[in-house]
């Protein structure tokens, strides 16, 4: 770690009252998502996520909402689904068909021993298809095992009963000054394109919450991490890689935020936190041409030990990203985990056990790819099947997710 201490610029303290698909299918889906994100970022970073707002509509789909969900004991959902890792051994599978216009949701609460039936997302707005290609911006965010948020061309829809019924998201999401104590905070690992704003879900009723005051900046949130002690850490994309990202931290469940500019003076790709005091930033080198960083380039790792008041640059040996976006996750043992790949089609995890100074390749797998993550957990898929790791060194195969 460098002896030079970099202090963040204090801008303001803002107070505000499945069965898994065949390997080629999964890699294709992951690459399409990555390419879409790069296009939306002008080939560099995350672009503005469409605001999840919409006009009133009539609830659709059959069945009654509310009550505890009752998964049906089917052995596995059909093939061709994307997996989203959630809390308490839960995983949601999303099957995307009809040129990205039809979404079907299933869930398991026991790592794949039993699955709920697939249920189709229903919404009023048309999903645009032209010349056999989907033109609509369709995004999906499994917020919990039972609560799913969908956006179609910026118009949102919410289900709180495992996809049985759907309502207008703008009216169905409950607005609060601070997230309720019992509500589970959601990290941005539930979606490749990231959550558009901080959200939380009631684990019993499935009710989704958003903050009345929103976030403390007009910039787009591109990383949100909930530390084990419940502190929210967020990074926001400034719209230009030459401008510093805004960082934000909330210790009172979103009621107030402390903000500062990223200390490295550039755009932050990912933030991960050990607790309310210790956190890390990952930034990639700026490429003027908008493509891959020059060979030999290194990523930037920053660390704070005082809740973000000051940051220190870690003298790291982590290479710049080979392609696509990378996410920084802290393992259950405090190790730094970053999914990556190489030109030979191998996937692996970069793992650091010394605070980001030195990284080693672990869990090397032909065609491997990180498909979802939670703080302390990474779900990984490759030729060796679907595996779950909490430390980047050892992994448990999950046959029920294959």
Assess if residue 98 is contained within a domain: yes
Q: How far apart are CA 350 and CA 316, in angstroms?
A: 12
Give the number of domains in the chain: 1
Query: 105 pLDDT exceeds 80?
Result: yes
- Tell me if 6 is assigned to some domain: no
Average pLDDT in the chain: 80
**Separation between Cα atoms, residue 254 and residue 180, nearest integer Å:** 10
- Residue 228 in domain: no
**Which H, E and C letters describe 17-35, residue by residue?**
CCCCCCHHHHHHHHHHHHH
Q: Is position 346 within any domain?
A: no
Predicted confidence at residue 133, as pLDDT, reads: 80
Residue of higher predicted confidence among 55 and 294: 294
What is the per-residue pLDDT across 170-219, written as a single tens digit (0 to 9) for each?
Answer: 999 999 999 999 999 998 876 656 788 999 999 999 999 999 998 889 89
More confident residue, 345 or 306: 306
In a domain, 203, yes or no: yes
Which residues span the domain enclosing 185?
Answer: 19-63+70-212
Whether the per-residue pLDDT at 97 is higher than 90: the answer is no
Given a cut of 80, whether residue 240 has pLDDT beyond it is no
Per cent of the chain over pLDDT 70 is: 77
Q: Detail the DSSP E strand segments found in 206-359.
A: 208-211, 220-226, 232-237, 246-250, 256-261, 270-273, 279-283, 300-304, 310-314, 328-330, 336-341, 346-352
Average pLDDT (81-99) is 91
CA-CA distance, 280 to 287, in Å (whole number)? 22
Residue 54 lies in a domain: yes
- pTM value is 0.80
SS3 38: helix
3-state helix, strand, coil in the chain (%, to 5): 5, 40, 55
Does residue 197 lie in a domain region? yes
Residue 27 lies in a domain: yes
Does the pLDDT at position 116 exceed 60? yes
Confidence of residue 161 (pLDDT cuts 50, 70, 90): very high
**CA gap 177, 249 in Å, rounded:** 16
């Amino acid at each position: 770690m460098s002896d030079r201490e970099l202090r963040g610029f204090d801008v303001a303290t803002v107070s505000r009252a499945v069965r898994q698909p065949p390997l080629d299918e999964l890699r294709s889906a992951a690459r399409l998502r990555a390419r879409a994100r790069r296009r939306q970022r002008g080939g560099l970073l995350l672009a503005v996520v469409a605001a999840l707002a919409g006009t009133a509509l009539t609830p659709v789909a059959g069945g009654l909402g509310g009550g505890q969900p009752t998964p049906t004991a089917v052995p596995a959902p059909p093939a061709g689904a994307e997996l989203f890792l959630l809390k308490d051994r839960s995983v949601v599978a999303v099957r995307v068909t009809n040129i990205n216009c039809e979404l079907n949701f299933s869930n398991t609460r026991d790592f794949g021993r039993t699955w709920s039936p697939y249920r189709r997302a229903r919404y009023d707005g048309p999903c645009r298809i032209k010349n056999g290609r989907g033109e609509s911006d369709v995004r999906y965010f499994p917020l919990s095992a039972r609560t799913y948020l969908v956006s179609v061309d910026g118009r949102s829809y919410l289900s709180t009963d495992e996809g049985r019924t759907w309502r207008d998201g703008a009216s169905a999401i409950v607005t609060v000054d601070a997230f309720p104590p019992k509500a589970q905070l959601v990290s941005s690992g539930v979606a490749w394109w990231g959550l558009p704003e901080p959200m939380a879900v009631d684990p019993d009723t499935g009710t989704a919450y958003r903050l009345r005051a929103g976030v403390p900046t007009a910039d787009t949130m591109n990383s949100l991490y909930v530390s084990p002690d419940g502190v929210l850490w967020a990074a926001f994309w400034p719209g230009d890689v030459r401008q510093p990202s805004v960082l934000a931290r909330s210790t009172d469940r979103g009621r107030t935020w402390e903000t500062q500019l990223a200390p490295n003076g550039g755009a932050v790709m990912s933030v991960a936190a050990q607790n309310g005091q210790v956190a890390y930033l990952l930034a990639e080198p700026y490429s003027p041409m908008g493509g891959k960083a020059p060979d030999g380039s290194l990523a930037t790792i920053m660390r704070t030990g005082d809740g973000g008041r000051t940051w220190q640059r870690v003298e790291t040996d982590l290479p710049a990203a080979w392609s696509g976006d990378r996410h920084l996750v802290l393992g259950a043992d405090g190790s730094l985990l970053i999914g990556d790949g190489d030109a030979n089609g191998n996937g692996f995890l970069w793992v650091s056990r010394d605070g980001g100074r030195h990284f080693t390749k672990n869990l090397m797998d032909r065609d491997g790819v990180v498909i979802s993550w939670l703080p302390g957990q990474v779900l990984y898929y490759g030729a060796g099947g679907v595996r779950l790791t909490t430390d980047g060194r050892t992994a448990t195969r999950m046959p029920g997710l294959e």
